[in-house]
Structures are given as structure tokens and as C-alpha cells.
Amino acid sequence: MTIRGHRAGFLRGVLWDLFGTLIRPERVGVSDIAPDTSDTFEAINTAHLLRWAAARGLPTPPEAATIIREARRWMWAETYATGRQHLTREALARAGVELGWPQDPNFLEEASLAFFAAEVEMVRPFPEAAATLATLREMGLRQAIVSNASEHHLVTRAVERAGLGEFFDPVISSAGFGRIKPEPTIFHAVLDAWGLPPEQCAMVGDTLGADIAGAQAAGLRAILVTMDPNPTNVAVADRIHPDGTAASLAEVVPIIRWWSESPD
């Protein structure tokens, strides 16, 4: 555990990233969810969607998986290029033109739910997640989720699946908000909902660019959690410096407490 800087005083809110910070995939039983796929969310989700589509009599030619993955790559490329979160249902509409699938909004919503169904079933909370969140709640701190995701329902369903829903208000996703971390506006959406200034809030996340730099640009302090390696951090580690680093969720609590207490 490391802490940089002076005590903030009167900390009243904690914003949390979700994936890789509070929850991670449980890989046991993956073959039962999506057999004959590589152990990646993209492959698993695509396989599940194609089985769902085939069960409804929709075309699923051999090239269908490639078409869907290309559409998803387009979606994320556009998202990162513009800062505006494009949705999985947009990618599925794009793929559906080639596949001959329906294009109406109801179908696309159902298809996006089916796409992420396997992923939601796989997520589990980190062992210390519930206890850490409960401790911060007992300290009187408000807590929220701020997550980059290409569908809002992925975030809300994953939070509920992990059994953590009771701790957060609001739950904000880039899909629901429209902009992605690290843009400061998505962090300010929580602060505005709470009516709190940034100096009274901290962000906890596992990604230096999206979580740490974004929160700091919005005026918050930021804690990097390092339970699992995050390859995206390597290229920016020399120029993005968290205000605190925690090797476990339990270590987040003393950092928050230290920042909240008055100096002796």
C-alpha cells in the first residue's frame, strides 16, 4: 500500500470502477456456457449470441463470428476515437445487415442482452469486495459505480450478479452517460448527483488511463488497485501517478481513512 500527498479531510464519497476492480471473471465452467471457444469474453459472448440466434431460426453462417467481431472492433475504434460510447446494439445492427438479421430496436436490445449473458454469468466479486464496501458505508461514505461499458445493462446486471447492488447510488456507465472515462464529465455526473465537490471524493480503479488520470483531471484523488495485472498500464506508468496504490481491496480502507482524518 502506498499513499501520495497530504490528507484531504472530510472525504464524503468514493467512486468505483467495476470490471477488474470489484469483480473479475470466474473461469470455472466456461465450457458449459460456450463450448468450443477460446477463453475470452469476446469469443464466449459471440458464441453465446450465435447459439441464441440459431435457436430463433436466424442465419448463422460460418463467417458470422468474424462479422460480429469486426463490428465490435469498429464500435470500440469509433468510441476511442471520439470519446462517445458506441453501443453493442449498434455493432449488432451493423453485423446484422450482412447476416440478414432484424434491425428493429426491440430485437437489437434482446440481442445485446443475449451477447452479454454468458459474461454476466461468469463474473464474481473479489473476495474482499463486500466487506470493503460495507466498511466504507459504515464510515458514512457514499459510493457509486463509474464504468466503461458498451451497454448499460451489462453494468447493472453484473453488479447485481456479484451481489453488490445495495452499496451504490448512482450506477453510471459510459453507455448510459454517452461519454467514456477518462473524460472528466462522467466523473462529474456522480458529483453532481451527490452535490459534492471533487475534493471530497476519491476514485478507485485498476486502469491508469481511464480511472486514475480521468479522476485526477476531474479533481478527485485516485487509488489504483493492483490485484490483477492490467497490461494497458505498462505504457503510461511513467507519466500517470495514482494518489494511492492498494494491492487488495482491504488496503483501500486505510487509505480512505487516512485521507479523511485530520492531521495530528
- Average pLDDT value for residue range 182-202: 98
The two beta strands, 221-225 and 201-205, are parallel
CB-neighbour burial class of residue 45 (10 A; exposed 0-12, middle 13-18, buried 19+): buried
Cell numbers placing 53: 440466434
The two beta strands, 244-246 and 2-3, are antiparallel
**Rounded-to-integer distance, Cα 34 and Cα 48, Å:** 6
- Name the class of domain 2-22+126-260: alpha beta
**Rounded-to-integer distance, Cα 212 and Cα 262, Å:** 24
pLDDT in tens, 54-107: 999 999 999 999 999 999 999 999 999 999 999 999 999 999 999 999 999 999
Q: Please tell me the pTM assigned to this model.
A: 0.91
pLDDT in tens, 214-244: 999 999 999 999 999 899 999 999 999 999 9
Q: In what order do the strands lie in the sheet with 171-173?
A: 2-3, 244-246, 221-225, 201-205, 13-16, 142-147, 171-173
More confident residue, 30 or 261: 261
Q: How far is CA 120 from CA 25, 48, 132, in A?
A: 9, 12, 22
Residue 3: strand pairing partners = 244
Per the CB < 8 A criterion, the answer to whether 218 and 227 are in contact is no
**Rounded-to-integer distance, Cα 168 and Cα 101, Å:** 37
If we measure between CA atoms, which residue out of 137, 158, 163, 134 comes closest to residue 147?
158
